[in-house]
Homo-oligomer: A and B are copies of this chain.
Amino acid sequence: MRQSSYFAPTLKENPAEAQVVSHRLMLRAGMIRQVTSGIYNYLPLGLKVLKKVENIIREEMNAAGAQEILMPMVQPLELWKETGRDAKYGTELLRIKDRHDRDFCLGPTHEEVITDLVRNNVQSYKQLPIMLYQIQTKFRDEVRPRFGLMRGREFLMKDCYSFDVSIDNAKKSYELMQKSYHRIFNRLGLDWRMVYADTGDIGGDYSHEFHVLAETGEDTLIFDTDGDYAVNVEKHDADTCAIPSERLKEAKGIEVGHIFLLEGTYSAPMNANVLGDDGKEATIQMGCYGIGVSRIVAAAIEQNYDEKGIIWPEQLAPFNIHIINLRAKDDDCNNACEKLYSQFKEQNYDVLYDDRDIGAGQKFSDADLIGCPWQCTIGPRGLKDSIAEWKNRRTGETTNLPLGEIPQALVGKAA
Protein backbone atom coordinates (compact mmCIF):
# COMPACT_ATOMS: atom_id res chain seq x y z
CA MET A 1 0.00 0.00 0.00
CA ARG A 2 1.34 3.42 -0.97
CA GLN A 3 1.09 5.74 1.98
CA SER A 4 0.55 8.80 -0.26
CA SER A 5 -2.92 7.51 -1.10
CA TYR A 6 -3.60 5.52 2.08
CA PHE A 7 -6.35 6.84 4.33
CA ALA A 8 -4.38 6.76 7.58
CA PRO A 9 -4.44 10.31 8.92
CA THR A 10 -1.87 10.46 11.74
CA LEU A 11 -2.02 12.98 14.58
CA LYS A 12 1.01 14.64 16.16
CA GLU A 13 -0.68 15.56 19.41
CA ASN A 14 -2.34 13.33 21.97
CA PRO A 15 -6.12 13.74 21.68
CA ALA A 16 -7.45 15.18 24.94
CA GLU A 17 -10.33 12.68 25.19
CA ALA A 18 -8.09 9.62 25.19
CA GLN A 19 -7.14 8.45 28.67
CA VAL A 20 -5.48 5.12 27.93
CA VAL A 21 -2.54 4.42 25.68
CA SER A 22 -4.36 2.14 23.20
CA HIS A 23 -7.07 4.72 22.61
CA ARG A 24 -4.46 7.46 22.19
CA LEU A 25 -2.29 5.48 19.81
CA MET A 26 -5.16 4.13 17.72
CA LEU A 27 -6.39 7.68 17.18
CA ARG A 28 -2.89 9.05 16.54
CA ALA A 29 -1.92 6.25 14.12
CA GLY A 30 -5.13 6.78 12.12
CA MET A 31 -6.60 3.37 12.98
CA ILE A 32 -9.95 4.57 14.31
CA ARG A 33 -12.07 7.71 14.59
CA GLN A 34 -14.88 8.29 17.04
CA VAL A 35 -18.37 8.77 15.58
CA THR A 36 -19.97 9.41 18.95
CA SER A 37 -19.44 8.22 22.51
CA GLY A 38 -18.41 4.55 22.44
CA ILE A 39 -18.99 4.21 18.67
CA TYR A 40 -16.11 4.20 16.19
CA ASN A 41 -15.17 4.08 12.54
CA TYR A 42 -12.38 1.63 11.76
CA LEU A 43 -10.10 3.20 9.17
CA PRO A 44 -8.15 0.90 6.80
CA LEU A 45 -5.25 0.41 9.22
CA GLY A 46 -7.53 -0.45 12.14
CA LEU A 47 -9.69 -2.78 10.09
CA LYS A 48 -6.60 -4.57 8.79
CA VAL A 49 -5.51 -5.48 12.33
CA LEU A 50 -9.07 -6.43 13.25
CA LYS A 51 -9.16 -8.83 10.29
CA LYS A 52 -5.86 -10.42 11.34
CA VAL A 53 -7.34 -11.13 14.77
CA GLU A 54 -10.55 -12.40 13.15
CA ASN A 55 -8.66 -14.77 10.85
CA ILE A 56 -6.65 -16.39 13.62
CA ILE A 57 -9.84 -16.94 15.61
CA ARG A 58 -11.73 -18.24 12.58
CA GLU A 59 -8.99 -20.73 11.66
CA GLU A 60 -8.87 -22.11 15.19
CA MET A 61 -12.64 -22.28 15.54
CA ASN A 62 -12.88 -24.22 12.28
CA ALA A 63 -10.01 -26.48 13.35
CA ALA A 64 -11.93 -27.27 16.54
CA GLY A 65 -14.93 -28.31 14.44
CA ALA A 66 -17.06 -25.24 15.13
CA GLN A 67 -19.13 -24.06 12.16
CA GLU A 68 -19.49 -20.41 11.24
CA ILE A 69 -22.93 -18.87 10.99
CA LEU A 70 -24.25 -15.30 11.13
CA MET A 71 -27.10 -14.22 13.37
CA PRO A 72 -28.85 -10.86 13.22
CA MET A 73 -27.94 -7.81 15.26
CA VAL A 74 -31.62 -6.93 15.73
CA GLN A 75 -33.33 -9.53 17.93
CA PRO A 76 -36.99 -9.97 18.85
CA LEU A 77 -37.38 -9.21 22.55
CA GLU A 78 -39.91 -12.03 22.91
CA LEU A 79 -37.03 -14.53 22.85
CA TRP A 80 -35.45 -12.71 25.80
CA LYS A 81 -38.75 -12.97 27.65
CA GLU A 82 -38.61 -16.75 27.40
CA THR A 83 -35.44 -16.83 29.50
CA GLY A 84 -36.37 -13.88 31.72
CA ARG A 85 -33.27 -12.00 30.64
CA ASP A 86 -35.22 -9.04 29.26
CA ALA A 87 -35.89 -8.05 32.88
CA LYS A 88 -32.51 -9.14 34.28
CA TYR A 89 -30.22 -7.57 31.71
CA GLY A 90 -31.03 -3.98 32.65
CA THR A 91 -30.33 -0.80 30.76
CA GLU A 92 -27.27 -2.08 28.90
CA LEU A 93 -29.73 -3.90 26.67
CA LEU A 94 -30.79 -1.32 24.10
CA ARG A 95 -34.48 -1.88 23.46
CA ILE A 96 -36.09 -0.65 20.26
CA LYS A 97 -39.50 -0.64 18.68
CA ASP A 98 -40.02 -1.16 14.97
CA ARG A 99 -42.56 0.73 12.84
CA HIS A 100 -45.27 -1.74 13.90
CA ASP A 101 -44.49 -1.04 17.58
CA ARG A 102 -43.04 -4.51 18.10
CA ASP A 103 -40.27 -4.95 20.67
CA PHE A 104 -36.70 -5.69 19.65
CA CYS A 105 -33.26 -5.25 21.11
CA LEU A 106 -29.77 -4.79 19.73
CA GLY A 107 -27.97 -8.02 20.53
CA PRO A 108 -25.21 -7.77 23.15
CA THR A 109 -25.04 -11.60 23.05
CA HIS A 110 -26.94 -14.35 21.23
CA GLU A 111 -27.85 -17.21 23.60
CA GLU A 112 -31.58 -16.82 23.00
CA VAL A 113 -31.38 -16.53 19.22
CA ILE A 114 -29.13 -19.54 18.83
CA THR A 115 -31.09 -21.68 21.29
CA ASP A 116 -34.21 -20.88 19.26
CA LEU A 117 -32.38 -21.85 16.05
CA VAL A 118 -31.19 -25.15 17.47
CA ARG A 119 -34.47 -26.17 19.09
CA ASN A 120 -36.20 -25.67 15.73
CA ASN A 121 -33.66 -27.67 13.74
CA VAL A 122 -32.28 -30.38 15.99
CA GLN A 123 -34.53 -33.19 17.14
CA SER A 124 -32.27 -36.13 17.83
CA TYR A 125 -29.14 -36.86 19.83
CA LYS A 126 -27.72 -38.10 16.53
CA GLN A 127 -27.47 -34.51 15.35
CA LEU A 128 -25.30 -33.60 18.35
CA PRO A 129 -22.72 -32.40 19.28
CA ILE A 130 -22.80 -29.14 17.34
CA MET A 131 -20.66 -26.08 17.87
CA LEU A 132 -21.73 -22.92 16.07
CA TYR A 133 -19.98 -19.55 16.11
CA GLN A 134 -20.17 -16.14 14.54
CA ILE A 135 -17.94 -13.08 14.32
CA GLN A 136 -20.34 -10.21 14.55
CA THR A 137 -21.04 -6.66 15.61
CA LYS A 138 -22.66 -6.36 19.01
CA PHE A 139 -24.12 -3.47 20.97
CA ARG A 140 -24.10 -2.87 24.70
CA ASP A 141 -25.44 0.46 25.93
CA GLU A 142 -22.64 1.17 28.46
CA VAL A 143 -23.56 3.92 30.88
CA ARG A 144 -20.11 5.48 30.52
CA PRO A 145 -18.27 4.27 27.41
CA ARG A 146 -14.54 4.91 27.77
CA PHE A 147 -11.02 3.89 26.83
CA GLY A 148 -11.73 3.69 23.10
CA LEU A 149 -12.21 0.13 21.92
CA MET A 150 -11.66 -1.21 25.45
CA ARG A 151 -15.13 -0.32 26.62
CA GLY A 152 -17.13 0.77 23.60
CA ARG A 153 -20.82 0.40 22.87
CA GLU A 154 -20.66 -1.12 19.39
CA PHE A 155 -17.95 -3.77 19.20
CA LEU A 156 -16.90 -6.92 17.40
CA MET A 157 -17.23 -10.29 19.15
CA LYS A 158 -16.65 -13.91 18.33
CA ASP A 159 -19.33 -15.89 20.11
CA CYS A 160 -19.48 -19.66 19.93
CA TYR A 161 -22.11 -21.99 21.38
CA SER A 162 -21.93 -25.74 21.98
CA PHE A 163 -24.87 -28.14 22.12
CA ASP A 164 -24.64 -31.59 23.65
CA VAL A 165 -26.92 -34.37 24.73
CA SER A 166 -25.53 -34.62 28.27
CA ILE A 167 -23.61 -32.60 30.84
CA ASP A 168 -20.62 -34.92 30.48
CA ASN A 169 -20.53 -34.31 26.76
CA ALA A 170 -21.02 -30.58 27.29
CA LYS A 171 -17.94 -30.61 29.52
CA LYS A 172 -15.97 -32.25 26.73
CA SER A 173 -17.04 -29.48 24.35
CA TYR A 174 -16.04 -26.96 27.01
CA GLU A 175 -12.60 -28.52 27.33
CA LEU A 176 -12.18 -28.62 23.55
CA MET A 177 -13.00 -24.92 23.38
CA GLN A 178 -10.65 -24.17 26.27
CA LYS A 179 -7.81 -25.80 24.34
CA SER A 180 -8.81 -23.89 21.22
CA TYR A 181 -8.59 -20.65 23.24
CA HIS A 182 -5.08 -21.56 24.38
CA ARG A 183 -4.05 -21.94 20.75
CA ILE A 184 -5.75 -18.69 19.74
CA PHE A 185 -4.11 -16.56 22.43
CA ASN A 186 -0.73 -18.16 21.79
CA ARG A 187 -1.05 -17.43 18.08
CA LEU A 188 -2.03 -13.83 18.76
CA GLY A 189 1.45 -13.39 20.25
CA LEU A 190 0.20 -11.84 23.47
CA ASP A 191 1.14 -12.41 27.11
CA TRP A 192 -2.08 -13.87 28.52
CA ARG A 193 -3.46 -15.87 31.40
CA MET A 194 -6.52 -18.03 31.99
CA VAL A 195 -8.29 -17.67 35.36
CA TYR A 196 -11.35 -19.07 37.12
CA ALA A 197 -14.09 -16.51 36.99
CA ASP A 198 -17.55 -15.47 38.06
CA THR A 199 -20.37 -16.39 35.70
CA GLY A 200 -21.99 -12.93 35.98
CA ASP A 201 -24.92 -12.05 33.72
CA ILE A 202 -24.60 -15.08 31.48
CA GLY A 203 -25.23 -17.65 34.17
CA GLY A 204 -24.24 -21.31 34.23
CA ASP A 205 -22.08 -23.60 36.25
CA TYR A 206 -18.45 -22.69 35.89
CA SER A 207 -16.36 -20.50 33.69
CA HIS A 208 -12.92 -19.23 32.79
CA GLU A 209 -11.72 -15.83 31.73
CA PHE A 210 -8.82 -15.11 29.41
CA HIS A 211 -6.86 -11.97 30.15
CA VAL A 212 -4.18 -10.06 28.32
CA LEU A 213 -1.76 -8.91 31.02
CA ALA A 214 -1.31 -5.13 31.06
CA GLU A 215 -0.84 -2.53 33.77
CA THR A 216 -3.91 -0.69 32.52
CA GLY A 217 -6.15 -3.76 32.94
CA GLU A 218 -9.37 -3.21 34.88
CA ASP A 219 -9.31 -6.69 36.45
CA THR A 220 -7.02 -7.96 39.17
CA LEU A 221 -5.82 -11.53 38.81
CA ILE A 222 -4.30 -13.60 41.60
CA PHE A 223 -2.19 -16.59 40.80
CA ASP A 224 0.06 -19.12 42.43
CA THR A 225 3.64 -18.62 41.23
CA ASP A 226 4.29 -22.28 41.93
CA GLY A 227 1.06 -23.99 40.85
CA ASP A 228 -2.06 -23.88 38.72
CA TYR A 229 -4.24 -21.70 40.94
CA ALA A 230 -5.26 -18.58 39.01
CA VAL A 231 -8.43 -16.59 39.67
CA ASN A 232 -10.06 -13.29 39.11
CA VAL A 233 -9.86 -11.50 42.47
CA GLU A 234 -13.68 -11.58 42.59
CA LYS A 235 -13.36 -15.31 43.04
CA HIS A 236 -10.45 -15.26 45.49
CA ASP A 237 -11.22 -15.92 49.13
CA ALA A 238 -8.09 -15.16 51.17
CA ASP A 239 -9.55 -16.84 54.27
CA THR A 240 -10.07 -20.22 52.67
CA CYS A 241 -7.22 -20.24 50.15
CA ALA A 242 -4.72 -22.89 51.25
CA ILE A 243 -1.79 -21.51 49.24
CA PRO A 244 0.84 -19.63 51.32
CA SER A 245 0.38 -15.92 50.67
CA GLU A 246 4.01 -15.42 49.64
CA ARG A 247 3.38 -17.71 46.68
CA LEU A 248 0.43 -15.61 45.49
CA LYS A 249 1.08 -12.88 43.00
CA GLU A 250 -1.17 -10.16 41.62
CA ALA A 251 -1.35 -8.88 38.07
CA LYS A 252 -3.65 -6.60 36.12
CA GLY A 253 -5.54 -8.09 33.20
CA ILE A 254 -7.76 -7.01 30.34
CA GLU A 255 -10.54 -9.54 29.84
CA VAL A 256 -10.57 -10.60 26.19
CA GLY A 257 -12.24 -14.00 26.41
CA HIS A 258 -14.78 -15.72 28.60
CA ILE A 259 -16.10 -19.27 28.42
CA PHE A 260 -19.10 -20.66 30.29
CA LEU A 261 -20.58 -24.08 30.88
CA LEU A 262 -24.23 -23.10 30.63
CA GLU A 263 -25.82 -26.54 30.90
CA GLY A 264 -29.58 -25.91 30.81
CA THR A 265 -29.62 -22.21 31.74
CA TYR A 266 -31.12 -21.28 28.37
CA SER A 267 -32.20 -24.57 26.87
CA ALA A 268 -34.43 -25.57 29.81
CA PRO A 269 -36.67 -22.46 29.89
CA MET A 270 -36.71 -22.42 26.08
CA ASN A 271 -37.61 -26.12 25.82
CA ALA A 272 -34.67 -27.00 23.62
CA ASN A 273 -34.81 -30.78 23.85
CA VAL A 274 -33.64 -33.77 21.88
CA LEU A 275 -34.69 -37.36 21.79
CA GLY A 276 -31.90 -39.32 23.51
CA ASP A 277 -30.66 -42.78 22.48
CA ASP A 278 -32.87 -44.15 25.27
CA GLY A 279 -35.93 -42.75 23.49
CA LYS A 280 -36.48 -40.11 26.19
CA GLU A 281 -36.60 -36.34 25.75
CA ALA A 282 -33.56 -34.63 27.25
CA THR A 283 -32.67 -30.96 27.70
CA ILE A 284 -29.81 -29.92 25.41
CA GLN A 285 -26.72 -29.01 27.44
CA MET A 286 -24.97 -25.86 26.31
CA GLY A 287 -21.74 -23.95 26.62
CA CYS A 288 -20.89 -20.47 25.35
CA TYR A 289 -17.53 -19.06 24.40
CA GLY A 290 -16.83 -15.39 23.72
CA ILE A 291 -13.82 -13.44 22.51
CA GLY A 292 -13.75 -9.65 22.30
CA VAL A 293 -12.27 -9.24 18.83
CA SER A 294 -12.04 -5.45 18.78
CA ARG A 295 -10.94 -5.37 22.42
CA ILE A 296 -8.01 -7.64 21.56
CA VAL A 297 -6.72 -4.98 19.16
CA ALA A 298 -6.70 -2.45 22.01
CA ALA A 299 -5.31 -4.94 24.55
CA ALA A 300 -2.46 -5.86 22.19
CA ILE A 301 -1.44 -2.20 22.13
CA GLU A 302 -1.71 -1.84 25.92
CA GLN A 303 0.88 -4.60 26.10
CA ASN A 304 3.06 -3.53 23.16
CA TYR A 305 4.06 0.11 22.90
CA ASP A 306 6.71 2.63 23.82
CA GLU A 307 6.83 6.43 24.01
CA LYS A 308 7.03 6.61 20.20
CA GLY A 309 4.03 4.48 19.36
CA ILE A 310 2.72 0.98 18.79
CA ILE A 311 4.99 -2.08 18.59
CA TRP A 312 2.89 -4.73 16.83
CA PRO A 313 3.43 -8.42 17.52
CA GLU A 314 4.23 -9.95 14.11
CA GLN A 315 0.95 -11.87 14.02
CA LEU A 316 -1.20 -8.76 14.36
CA ALA A 317 0.86 -6.20 12.48
CA PRO A 318 -1.12 -4.43 9.75
CA PHE A 319 1.99 -4.64 7.57
CA ASN A 320 5.14 -6.76 7.95
CA ILE A 321 7.42 -4.20 6.34
CA HIS A 322 7.31 -0.41 6.20
CA ILE A 323 9.47 0.93 3.36
CA ILE A 324 10.59 4.49 4.03
CA ASN A 325 11.71 6.48 1.01
CA LEU A 326 13.87 9.30 2.39
CA ARG A 327 13.90 11.31 -0.83
CA ALA A 328 10.61 11.06 -2.75
CA LYS A 329 11.93 13.68 -5.21
CA ASP A 330 14.95 11.56 -6.17
CA ASP A 331 14.62 9.20 -9.14
CA ASP A 332 17.16 6.71 -7.84
CA CYS A 333 15.43 6.51 -4.46
CA ASN A 334 12.03 6.11 -6.11
CA ASN A 335 13.22 3.40 -8.48
CA ALA A 336 14.95 1.44 -5.73
CA CYS A 337 11.86 1.71 -3.47
CA GLU A 338 9.44 0.73 -6.22
CA LYS A 339 11.56 -2.32 -6.98
CA LEU A 340 11.67 -3.39 -3.33
CA TYR A 341 7.96 -2.70 -2.95
CA SER A 342 7.14 -5.05 -5.85
CA GLN A 343 9.64 -7.66 -4.73
CA PHE A 344 8.44 -7.84 -1.12
CA LYS A 345 4.80 -7.99 -2.24
CA GLU A 346 5.65 -10.83 -4.62
CA GLN A 347 7.18 -12.65 -1.67
CA ASN A 348 3.76 -12.25 0.02
CA TYR A 349 4.84 -9.73 2.60
CA ASP A 350 2.28 -7.11 3.53
CA VAL A 351 4.08 -3.87 2.68
CA LEU A 352 3.36 -0.25 3.50
CA TYR A 353 5.44 2.07 1.33
CA ASP A 354 5.96 5.65 2.50
CA ASP A 355 6.22 7.38 -0.86
CA ARG A 356 5.02 10.73 0.50
CA ASP A 357 6.84 13.90 -0.41
CA ILE A 358 7.38 15.08 3.18
CA GLY A 359 10.33 15.42 5.56
CA ALA A 360 12.29 12.43 6.85
CA GLY A 361 11.50 13.37 10.46
CA GLN A 362 7.76 12.99 9.97
CA LYS A 363 8.25 9.73 8.08
CA PHE A 364 10.28 8.22 10.91
CA SER A 365 7.87 9.38 13.60
CA ASP A 366 4.83 8.11 11.64
CA ALA A 367 6.56 4.77 11.08
CA ASP A 368 7.32 4.39 14.79
CA LEU A 369 3.77 5.45 15.62
CA ILE A 370 2.14 2.92 13.25
CA GLY A 371 4.53 0.30 14.58
CA CYS A 372 5.12 -2.22 11.79
CA PRO A 373 7.71 -4.77 12.99
CA TRP A 374 10.31 -3.87 10.35
CA GLN A 375 11.26 -0.57 8.78
CA CYS A 376 13.33 -0.61 5.59
CA THR A 377 14.80 2.83 4.94
CA ILE A 378 16.14 3.85 1.55
CA GLY A 379 18.16 7.06 1.17
CA PRO A 380 20.68 8.51 -1.31
CA ARG A 381 23.65 7.75 0.93
CA GLY A 382 22.92 4.04 1.37
CA LEU A 383 21.93 3.67 -2.28
CA LYS A 384 25.49 4.57 -3.36
CA ASP A 385 26.58 1.28 -1.78
CA SER A 386 23.31 -0.52 -2.74
CA ILE A 387 22.36 -0.76 0.90
CA ALA A 388 19.07 -0.45 2.80
CA GLU A 389 18.83 0.21 6.52
CA TRP A 390 16.55 -2.20 8.38
CA LYS A 391 15.21 -1.33 11.81
CA ASN A 392 13.53 -3.76 14.17
CA ARG A 393 10.74 -1.68 15.71
CA ARG A 394 10.72 -3.68 18.96
CA THR A 395 14.44 -3.77 19.75
CA GLY A 396 15.38 -0.61 17.90
CA GLU A 397 18.35 -2.45 16.40
CA THR A 398 19.38 -1.38 12.92
CA THR A 399 21.32 -3.35 10.30
CA ASN A 400 22.52 -2.46 6.85
CA LEU A 401 21.71 -5.08 4.26
CA PRO A 402 22.31 -5.29 0.51
CA LEU A 403 19.23 -4.03 -1.40
CA GLY A 404 16.59 -6.72 -1.70
CA GLU A 405 17.85 -8.81 1.19
CA ILE A 406 15.53 -9.37 4.12
CA PRO A 407 16.59 -9.70 7.78
CA GLN A 408 16.94 -13.33 8.78
CA ALA A 409 14.32 -12.93 11.54
CA LEU A 410 11.74 -11.87 8.96
CA VAL A 411 12.30 -14.68 6.45
CA GLY A 412 9.33 -17.03 6.33
CA LYS A 413 7.11 -14.59 8.25
CA ALA A 414 5.15 -13.43 5.18
CA ALA A 415 1.46 -12.79 5.75
Contacts and interface: CB of A to CB of B under 8 A. Distances in A.
Nearest to A51: B68
A151 to B, nearest CB: 15
A139 interface: yes
Contacts of A35: 71-72, 75-76, 113, 116-117
B137 A73 contact: yes
Q: Which interface class (under 10, 10 to 19, 20 to 34, 35 or more) fits A?
A: 35 or more
A41 B73 contact: no
A214 interface: no
A65 interface: yes
A51 B365 CA distance: 38
B99 A91 contact: yes
Interface string A34-51: 011001111110010010
A65 to B, nearest CB: 7
A216 to B, nearest CB: 24
Contact of A99 (B65, B74, B130, B143): B143
A120 interface: yes
Contact of A73 (B73, B117, B122): B73
Contact of A41 (B9, B70, B74, B122): B70
Nearest to A96: B96
Contacts of A44: 67-69, 132
A33 interface: yes
A146 to B, nearest CB: 14
A94 interface: yes
Contacts of A113: 35, 41
Minimum-distance CB pairs A-B, first 9: A42-B70, A9-B121, A36-B76, A44-B67, A96-B96, A39-B72, A91-B99, A72-B154, A99-B141
Interface of A: 5-7, 9, 30, 33, 35-36, 39-44, 47, 50, 65, 67-76, 91-92, 94, 96, 98-99, 106, 113, 116-117, 120-122, 130, 132, 137, 139, 141, 143, 153-154
